[in-house]
Structure 1
Amino acid sequence: MNIKQTLESLSIETNDSKLFSELQAMMKKNFTKTLGKKDKIISFYDENEMIQRKYFFKFITKIYNQTHKDELNIKFAEYTTIKLLYKQDNSLKITIFADIEFVGNEARFRFDRSNALFISYIAQKFKKSQIFINDDQNYLIIKISSANETSGFDELFDKSEHMSFCTYFRYDKDKFIKFKREANIQNSQKFVRRFSALADLFSEHFKTLECEQNSDFEGVRSKYLELVKIYHPDRHAQKSEKIKKEYREKFEKIQNAYESLKPYFKEQEIFVSA
């Protein structure tokens, strides 16, 4: 970590992606007048944030003194603009930044730029999972079907370099732990036996919503929203009475199916959280 100070600003430069991530998160959380992009963030002076700034520089000084022989002296830095920069060690390497969300049994990657090669590399690591990639090659969804597949995420996140890429993954660690835990529970024999039997009882409702019996709540909800939009009575007000009646009945059947499946998925949620 290198630090440069002028009368107007203090610049912090690092090639450690984890440190950059931590400092970036601190700045976004504690400083309101902040602008940034994938490898740079700037925070402008705000007199109402003096306490936060003092603690931030105390943290910076501690880290700096642990890795440098000379002690850091940054007097009056709290009154200046703070600049945080991420610098690659090797200019030949491409830096990949991705924000990751965990929703149900899906890991959703949103990349800062299009990169078909790196997305293809990840897809190869999850051959047994369902993969969805958008046309712009900057959004990837990995839908797992077994607990064994979660180990691939540990391998991916534990490394900061893959192939010729420097990788920087931003995600909530607690949500990742919860994601893996739920995957283990949902693939346990006890869970499968219990909810497979219940799903059989609701087979007609799944069929009405054009879903498989092993569909998750997000999949069912997505299909429900799609169908109610198609069959909503207001959309067919100008059609014949016969067609309006058929579509209204279909609409009501879809509504009933969705409402009937809600307790089923709520029971799954309670089972997993217990």
Structure 2
Amino acid sequence: MKVELLQQYVQINISRYSEFLPRAISFAMRHFSRSYRLSSSILILDDGERLKKDYFLNWAYHIGLQRESREESASFEEILAHSYLPIRIKIIDETGVLEQIKISLKVIKLGQVALILDHPNLLARRYLLSIFKNFLLSYNSKELFLNAESEDFWEVLLGLISQKIIHNVVLNFDYESFKACARGGFENSGFKEYYLTKDEITLRNSLKTLSCNLNDDWETIKNRYIELAREYHPDRVYGQDIAIVESYTEKFRDIQAAYENLKRQLEVRH
């Protein structure tokens, strides 16, 4: 953001994604009787309201600019000396430049992670907040602290990775930090499984139930299902202790469910 003294205006250049822009527009439209909203600018033409214009420029300079940047701005004394001129708030799109934001993942503790931006960016932060609003614990200008206990969280994260360009901001995910999380002692806690989608987790669990692996063909899976179904069929323990019957019944149901899941996911036709 910067303030310029032009021949016909005092011009305030503000990025469309600046936190200051909505406040500046609201102030201009509410307090000046001759303010006009155009597609990419706001014009304040009140020649007879210089005190209000002085106040607005003072507010813009000392509150708005100190939060962002005063680079290339005119001095405050020069600005006030020319406050008789119309004020133009110019909204800058900055779509010609793609800003690169690197996002890394850090495990705070089991079930809680932080997404860390390598530098503050309002648009990137707003976008991430909207995506992870259901998992948000807290945030600051560069970090989002998130509840990662739910499988849904990792579904959302995986979906986000495929959407890298948001307006003029490129979100680059630091995959090395994701790998480091898995190497940091979380393998045994099931943390790595969070990188899988729900269907992938179901597939792996179903194969595990049938004592199969990802490389087995359908015929092998089917034969293994038949073997286990015979072995754990409740009829084999009919009349025995109720606990044994219930154990076989539960195991048999798990085997059947795993087989049906695999048929569905592997799109087997009969």
Relative to total residues, which structure has the larger helix share, 1 or 2? 1
TM-score under structure 1 normalisation? 0.31
Larger radius of gyration: 2
